[in-house]
Chains A and B, each alone.
Chain A
């Protein structure tokens, strides 16, 4: 009951003062988004959503921020500066979302519905549906927009969808429960959550060329803004491993207890993580390895950082 009152109370609070730089966190376990002030590291407010917000993506013109609500079957459109909700688009099970680099397609991985949907990025009309077994999880695009690569978490595969012919080009084997996939210097990197390694695949054929260990529960891969580093989150080991993106050698490793998931890089060099199991957002200083945490909602997943945002 206390929580109920707190909620009613927080809804009645006047809008928080302007902040310089803000972070939006998707609380997948309690149907809300947390707005965090970057400078004070305080949670400013919680935005209620329908059901289960997971991931977020800027539109190609960077004028709108999309948040996928899977169980709510809708995509929420926010202003990326004010974090104001502008509109809602009905879309089936938007788990992972992304735009092809040429901005021709809006791709939706519907994990619970075992399908990958291609939408028109302006009208959000469905163009083509690919039933893919099973649990389509993460995606990566070829830089020339010729293909999108999808990890199939439930069947240990990686699917390549040809974005010119709109066909499935190949389906290749990965390690168990593949999650993150990243295009890196002409190769594909796939993190295998069911084991402890990342596989290097040839995007033309899907053939595995190399495997290397990062840690148990290898989950997601994030390139640093300058492209020199790749961060890999390991779900079981609760670590973030930093790789040299050219050699793929491990440079550093950070201990991040609490289930590190998505990452955003701040202009000041700090790295923001969501920590799924402890319901916090962590701010890592890669120079010192120190970590500061901010409490957010239940099971925080996606994260969006805008150092120029002024949330109302």
Chain B
């Protein structure tokens, strides 16, 4: 299966991407573009797998039923541009020069960004263990990024896009403000400078993790059981985070993949069962507006918060 994905990525690059770069006079990106081709192919696989599993699940045990599911459509759009890689491509290109400057400046100070394996040499050669350790650390960092985005009002103004959805489905995972995504990108760059990021060694594992994140938003009555819910974030657990009373400052269940950090820092609540979702403080444009309307409304809210 891996081989088929890799061949597809190779084909995408050779048949589509390179002639396009050549035509646009952007051939200097040819080496980098393979990473993007891989990302796009695995992203498409993620969306397909998630779709194939979550659609029947949502039909089988829906938490909510809506007469009109049109508000979901914009989430489909969010998902496609972020998983198939248009957004990552834009942020990458936009930030490439910044990264080069930053890396160069740091290298001038004699700093060679380490990797987890160099900090803990016992990990060298144990790629599976290292990979899992990276996932745990990155998830920990993600917990704090998410938690802080609820603490600062200006930041929550952006994150409110994610919370405003009252018709939450597996498509809602990628419903994030572009600026929020950029902050996430900078967050990850900082971590990469400290401990590196894992290579594309286990793309199938990444696919499984991304699937879990989508699943946790599914409109499905699904819990992983007492123990399971404490090991991995379940749809029931994450739905509580999207609950009407959990929007904004006083929230809970921030974890994306592992609920451990919520348990450790006492923000976990395993009792709320399949609550209604949405953010009562958000203006209507954030919930049912178009992609553009959601973006501009939350930007305005951010400016209001910053100038208050």
Q: Using an 8 Å CB-CB cutoff, how does the interface string of A297-311 with B read, 1 for contact, 0 for none?
A: 011000000000000
Which residues of A in the span 264-291 have a Cβ within 8 Å of any Cβ on B? 276-279
B10 touches A7 (CB 8 A): no
With most chain A CB atoms within 10 A of its CB, the pick from B100, B117, B125, B205 is: B100
Which residues of B in the span 74-119 have a Cβ within 8 Å of any Cβ on A? 99-100, 103-104, 107-108, 110, 112-115, 117-118
A217 touches B112 (CB 8 A): no
Interface of B is mostly: helix
Answer whether residue A227 sits at the interface, using C-beta atoms and an 8 A cutoff. Answer: no
A299 to B13, CA, bound (A): 11
Answer whether residue A177 sits at the interface, using C-beta atoms and an 8 A cutoff. Answer: yes
B104 touches A177 (CB 8 A): no
**A71 to nearest B CB, angstroms?**
7
Which residues of A in the span 42-63 have a Cβ within 8 Å of any Cβ on B? 48, 50-52
Decide: A29 near B200, CB < 8 A? Known: A8-B128, A115-B107.
Answer: yes
Which residues of B in the span 247-293 have a Cβ within 8 Å of any Cβ on A? none
Q: Using an 8 Å CB-CB cutoff, how does the interface string of B101-144 with A read, 1 for contact, 0 for none?
A: 00110011010111101100000010110000000000000000
A4: contacting residue among B19, B103, B202, CB under 8 A: B202
**A3 to nearest B CB, angstroms?**
5
Which residues of A in the span 1-20 have a Cβ within 8 Å of any Cβ on B? 1-4, 7-8
A239 to B28, CA, bound (A): 19
Which residues of B in the span 1-26 have a Cβ within 8 Å of any Cβ on A? 1-3, 6-7, 10-11, 13-14, 18-19, 22, 25-26
Number of interface residues, chain A, beta carbon within 8 A: 52
Q: Using an 8 Å CB-CB cutoff, how does the interface string of B192-216 with A read, 1 for contact, 0 for none?
A: 0000100111101100000000000
B27 touches A193 (CB 8 A): yes
**A94 to nearest B CB, angstroms?**
10
**A205 to nearest B CB, angstroms?**
25
The residue in chain A whose Cβ has the minimal distance to the Cβ of B100 is A114
A4 touches B204 (CB 8 A): yes
A277 touches B34 (CB 8 A): yes
A115 touches B30 (CB 8 A): no
Which residues of B in the span 188-244 have a Cβ within 8 Å of any Cβ on A? 196, 199-202, 204-205
Answer whether residue B54 sits at the interface, using C-beta atoms and an 8 A cutoff. Answer: no
A134 touches B100 (CB 8 A): yes
B104 touches A259 (CB 8 A): no
Decide: A176 near B25, CB < 8 A? Known: A1-B204, A30-B200, A90-B118.
Answer: yes
Residues in B with CB closer than 8 Å to A90 are: 112, 118
A112 to B14, CA, bound (A): 22
Which residues of B in the span 128-178 have a Cβ within 8 Å of any Cβ on A? 128
B14: contacting residue among A114, A131, A193, A277, CB under 8 A: A277
Chain A residues in the interface with B (C-beta under 8 A): 1-4, 7-8, 29-31, 48, 50-52, 71-74, 90-93, 110-115, 126, 129, 131, 134-135, 153-154, 176-177, 193-194, 216-217, 235-236, 238, 257-259, 276-279, 298-299
Supply 4 further A-B pairs (C-beta < 8 A) apart from A236-B22, A299-B34: A3-B202, A90-B112, A259-B18, A298-B6
9 A-B contacts (beta carbon < 8 Å): A4-B202, A50-B196, A71-B199, A72-B196, A90-B112, A135-B28, A193-B30, A259-B14, A298-B6
